[in-house]
Structure 1
Amino acid sequence: MKGQVLAAACLAAVVAGCGSITRGTSEKMAFLSEPSGATMTSTKGYACPSTPCSLDVERSDEFDVTFTKPGFQPQIVPVRTKVAGSGAAGFAGNIIAGGVIGMGVDAATGAAMDHFPNPVVVTLVPEALPTAQRERRRRKKPEV
């Protein structure tokens, strides 16, 4: 009985330290634009037909996101990864529990990583000034 309790305690320590088990290998990301309704595509194949939206993204993926909307200039945002606080704790837990295999799994799957920025937010810039603003600019006389 004592051996089973000890084995269960050891297993719990190893599992608690493993980021791929406690955090998973994917992360929920939000994509927002002002104005809303932009199409979002990425260099890794992630896409949303209209913002705002959210997707599950592999923690190890780094990519560029492009937002497009008719009448606005496309905006590109690089999304990168970094070791996050809770990811670092899980990775460190592998060391404490002696889980060299867990460290390798976390490194390979990106379980110790988080994406930034998250959420990905852009303000789209109009391609041209609205007609009323163009007219006002034409009526102004150049200063000499």
Structure 2
Amino acid sequence: MKIVRLLALGAFALSATACATVTRGSNTAWQVTSDPSGAKVETSHGHQCPATPCSIKMKRKSEFTATLTKPGYKPATVSVTNKVGTGGGAGMAGNVLVGGIIGAGVDVATGAMLDLTPNPAHVTLEKQ
């Protein structure tokens, strides 16, 4: 029984060292607005929202293109990439300070240290 407790404690300690994964998660809300509002949004990953302003739950490590359409306006696209965010960098620094090489690997694999950019995205639509 003592060995099981030690193994459980060790597993918890290893998983807790993935600081950004624990504090930020691997998903985020990507927000998009348009001028004029009410445009339909569709991403290259197949996610949609019926009208801006809206937000779509996306993986932090995603890279995609979003197309906005509205009757009477030309379609517009926005390219979304990712970068290491302030909170993600702090989480990774926590891994380094605590010595959590496994936690750092988890954060890299899940993308928890990343932020989507631009977020929020604002698109101005042109009349046809």
TM over 0.5: yes
Partner of 1:116: 117
Partner of 1:97: 98
SS in 2 for 1:76: strand
Partner Cα distance (2:71, 2:119) in 1: 25
Residue 44 of structure 1: how far off its partner (Å)? 1.3
Larger RCO (CA under 8 A, 6+ residues apart): 2
Question: Is residue 48 of structure 1 aligned with residue 49 of structure 2?
Answer: yes
The residue identity in structure 1 corresponding to 2:40 is: T
Give deviations 1:22-58, integer Å, cap 9, x for gaps: 1111111211111111110011122101111112111
Note the residue ranges of structure 1 that are not aligned, 5 or more in a row: 1-6, 128-144
Give 1 or 2 for the bigger CA radius of gyration.
Answer: 1
The residue identity in structure 2 corresponding to 1:66 is: T
Aligned residues: 120
Note the residue ranges of structure 2 that are not aligned, 5 or more in a row: 1-8
TM-score (normalised: structure 2): 0.85
TM-score (normalised: structure 1): 0.76
| RMSD, aligned α-carbons | 2.2
Partner Cα distance (1:84, 1:118) in 2: 11
8 Å Cα contact 1:17/1:89 also seen in 2: no
Partner Cα distance (2:115, 2:92) in 1: 13
Partner Cα distance (2:96, 2:89) in 1: 11
The residue identity in structure 2 corresponding to 1:87 is: G
